[in-house]
Structure 1
Amino acid sequence: MMMMMILLLTESVLASYQFNSTVECEPVRKRTVRVRAGESLYLPCPETDCYDSSYDWWRTLSSTKQDEQIGMEESERVHYHHSGLYILWLTLDDTGRYIRRWWYEKDNCDEYETNIVVYEEFHMDLLYLSVPEIKASIITCPVCEKQQGTFIWYKNFSLIPNQEFTNVLRIHNSSKESEGIYTCVCTWEHNGLKHTTSGSRSLTIIDHSPSNPPQFQLPVNNSIVITDVGTELILVCSVIFVCEDCPVYWKRNKTKLDEEDGYKFDIYRSKDGNAQLFLNITKVSELDLRSEFRCTTEDDYKVIFVSITLKRRASMLPVILACICTFLLVLVLSGIVKWFSLDLVLFLRKMFIKFNRKEDGKLYDAYVIYNSDETTSKTVSDFVNGSLLTVLESYYGFKLFIHGRDDLPGEDCMNLIETKIQLSRRLIIILTPGASSIYPTAYDLQVGLHQALVQGETGVILIQLGQMQDYTHLPLGLQHLLCKNNPLLWRDGQTSPNSRFWKRVRYRMPIASSHQRRSSKKRPEECQILPV
C-alpha cells in the first residue's frame, strides 16, 4: 500500500512538472466513443511505452464548456492511472471532449482526443460497426479488449443460455434466425469494486448468391519488403471490387490496425469500384519486422487477403569487410607468389623438365665473356674464378667455357671462340665500369652479339660488377640487349648458392648438363685474343 502511494505521488509530481499551459500539443488522433449511463468506461493507452512516458488528461464537458484537468486520485469517480482513463458510473453530464497529452519532451507533446457521448437508454448509435455475414460462426466482444473480466452475452437483450462466458460467442449452424442485436456485458474490477461495460453488434445473415470476388492488384501475396528499423514505410494495397461498399483494411498478425497504434491510413476509391489503401508506418520497429501485414477485404461471401512481411536491409559492412579481407589476402598471396616464384620455377624445372630434356647437340651450358683493365682485373678474376665457378659449376653442376681454363695451347683462338660459342646454350657477359676501351675490340663479344642478335640462337645473361653511371661506352649491340633485359647486379658478399642473385642467374640458365665437369682439371695457359 505504501509503495502504491509513493508511485501515485511520483506520477502526480511528474505530471504537474511537465504540463505547460503555454505549449500547444500536436493533434494526433480523434475518435468518438458512445456509452450508456450507469456503466463504467476504461480508455486504455494504445502505445507500448505507456508506463515509461508522461501523460496528463483534460476534459471539456458539454454542459460547462470549461477545460478541466483530470487528477489521479483513485477515490475520484473520474481519474487516470498509468495513462489509462477511468470514468466510473457514467452520467449524462460526462458527455464531452477528453484529451490525453503525451509529453515526450519538456515542451513537446502529442494530443489524443476522444469524444464521449453518454446515452441514457439503448440507441442504435451505440452499435459497433457490423459486417453482413454469409454464415456467421463467432462474434467478438467489442469492449474490454485490454482488460480482464467476465463476459455475459445477450441476444435482442435476452440472456443467451448455455454460453461459455468468454469474449467470443460461438454460433452453431447460423441461419436467418440467428440475426439480431448481440450484446456482451463485461464485468471488471477496479479498487475492489465491480464495474460493467457493454457493447452491441448487429448480425445480418445474407443469402448466398454467386459473385465475382475482389481481386488484388497490389501487393503480390507473400511478398517481402526490404526496409530499415526507424525509417518511414508506405505499403500500398490496390483492390478491384464488384461491390461499391466492400471494406478494405490492414491487419498486423491477424489484428486490425488502428491509427492510434502508430499507423496512418489513406484510402482512395474510384468510380469504377477500385480502391487503393495506403498504410503509412511512421517508424518501423523491431516488432514490425517480426510481424505479418495483411491487406484484407471482404464481399458478401468471404474474406480474402494478401500478406506482406518486412525484412531488415542487409548491412553492407560484412560485404565491405569481406572485400577488404579478400583484397588483402590476394595481395599477400601475390607478394608470396612473387617472392617465391623463382624458387617455385626452379623447383619445378628440377623435378619435371630435367627428366624430359632432349639433347640439342650443345656442349656447354654457358660461354663466359669478360674483359677487364688494371683497375678491375682483380675484381673480375675473383668473381669469375671464385664465385661463378664455385656456385654454377661445383654446386649446381653447370658446364661453363672460360678462356684460359678450357682452351688448349696452340689452338686458333678465333676459330675456337666461334666454335665454343656455337656449342654454348647461353652467353654470360660480365660488365665492368673500367673496361670501356676493351669492349669494342673483344672478338668473343662481337661473335657472341652476332650469335644472339642476328642469328637469335643463344640467350644472353648480363652480370654487372659494380655501379655504372650509364652504358654509353658499351657497343650498340650490347646497349640493345641492356634495353631488353636489365643486368644482374653483383654485390660483394653474395657468396651463398641460395642467395637471391644466384637464383636469378639460375632462372636464366638452361637445365644443367647431365654430365658434370670433373672437379680437378689442370688449367692450361691462356691464349691471346687479338682485336679485329
Structure 2
Amino acid sequence: MTMMMMMMRIILLLSESVLVSYQSNSTVQCELGNRKSVRVRAGESLYFPCPSVECYESTEGYAYDWWRNLSRTNQTERIGTAESERVHYHQSVLYILWLTLDDTGLYITRWWYEKDKCDEYETDIVVYEAFHTDLLYSPMVEEKAIAIYCPVCENQQAAFLWYKNFSLIPNQESKRLPIRNSSKESEGIYTCVCTWEHNGLKHNTSGHRRLIIKAQSVNNPPVFQLPVNNSVVITDVGTELILVCSVFFVCDECPVLWQRNKTTLREDDGYKQENRAIDGSVQSLLYITKVSELDLVSEFRCRTKDSYRVMFVSVTLKSRASTHAVILACICTFLLVLVLSGTVKWFSLDLVLFLREIPIKFNRKEDGKLYDAYVIYQRNSDETTSKTVSDFVNGSLLTVLERYCGYKLFIHGRDDLPGEDCMNLIETKIQLSRRLIIILTPGTSSISPEAYDLQVGIHQALVQGETGVIVIQLGQIRDYTHLPLGLQHLLRKNNPLLWRDGQSSPTSRFWKTVRYRMPVASSHQKSSEKYHLKV
C-alpha cells in the first residue's frame, strides 16, 4: 500500500515536471501584475502564497511555474517542487525554509489559467540578518486601540506568541492581541511569532508592527455648509422638490435628519430622506414628492447633534406666484430710482443755479477781487472772425452775464483807459478777476503776439492756480495743436463750451453751463432788462 502511494506520488511529480517544462519553453507572453516586496529575517521560514488572491485560492485545474533571480548570482533559475529541497513550491505556495542572506532576490510566479494564457507576478524578497526597522509593517496610529492582529500566517494553521518591545507578553497565544485601556504607555513595537508545521518539522515566521497612540481630537461642533439658516426656497404647489443639507463632521456617528415643524417626516406622507458621506461631510437629501399648501406655511429644519447640544438650520418654502409682487415692486423701484437719477443729473445745473438765488448764499467773505471774469479774445483777425467775436462779446455775452446775471466783466476796448500801460494793466486786471473767459474761433490759426493777456491768464491758471478758466468755442475746431501748450492742457482738463446761433436765451443749456462754472455774482443788482429777455 505504501509502495503504491509512493509510485502515485512519483507519477504526479513527473507529470508536473513535464507540464512545467512545456510552460517554460512556451513563447506566450504573460500579463504582468503589480510588483511587491517582502522583508524577512534570516533563520526563519517563509510561507509565501501567490500574490493574487484568485491565483492562490483557485488551484484546481491550473498550473504554476516559480522562478528566482538571486542578487548574489544575478541569474534566473527555475524553482523545483521537491519537498526535500529547502526552497520549493507546491502549486500556488512557495516555501523558503530556514532563510539565509543568500535568499535575497527577485521571485517570479507564473499562473497558467489557460493553455496559452498566464499572469506573472514579481516579488522582491529581502532577508535581514537581525531586526531592522524596515521589517516593520505599516504602523497603527489610533486614538484608542482595541486590538492588534498578527500580520503574518494569515492562511495557515499556526500557534502564536506575542512580544512587546521584544519582551514576551504572557498568556497571549491567539492571532489577535487585545489592548486594554490603551494609552501612551501602550505604544511600542509589537512582534507576533507564529509557529507552523511543514513535512513534520516546525518553522517560525515573525511580523513586527509599531503602535502609536495619538492625542484624542477636540470635539469640534458640526458645521452646516448648506443650507443657509432662515433661507427661502421658491417652488410651486404640486411640484417635486429636493432639499439638500450638508454638514461637516468630526464625529463619525452624529445623525443628520430633516423635520417639518419639529416633527419627524414619514415616507408614507410623501417625504423620503437619504444620507451619504462626501469628503468628511454628511449630506441629507429630503425628497418631497409633491409640495403642498401645508408645506408653504411650515418650517423645515435640518437637525443634527454632537455630544453636547442639538443644532439645526431652518428653511421655508414660498410659492413662485407670491414673488411676482415683490419682483414687480423691485422693478418699479429700480425704474423710479433710474428716472430720479436721470432727472437729478439733467436738472443739476438748474438746482445749483436755483440755490445761488437764495439770499443766504450771497453772504460770503470778500476775496479782494474786483471782477467776476476777465474776457480774453483775439482782437487782430480777419473781418469775418472779428465780426463773429464782436457780435458774441458785445451781444450775447454782455447781455446774459452782465445784464441778466449781474456779473462784472473786464473787456478790453471797453474797460481800459487810453494811455494806460497795457502790460501792467493786463496783469493787474487778471489778478483782480475770479475767472478767465477765453473765446476761440475756427479761424484762429495761432495766438497773436499782442495777446499778452492770454499768456498771463494761462500762467495765472496753471502755475499759481488762483483763477478758474472757462473756454467758449465759436464754431467747430477739429484740431487744437496750433494752440499754446498751456491752453491745450486746460482744454484737456475742461472741455470747451460750444456756442451755436440760437442760444441767446439766458435759460438755454449753454448759458446755464457757463453760469454753473462762474462764481456767485458779486453784484446782484440785475437790470430790468432781465425781465424783458426771452425765456
Whether these two folds match at TM > 0.5 is no
TM-score, with structure 2 as normaliser = 0.42
Give TM-score scaled by structure 1 length.
Answer: 0.43
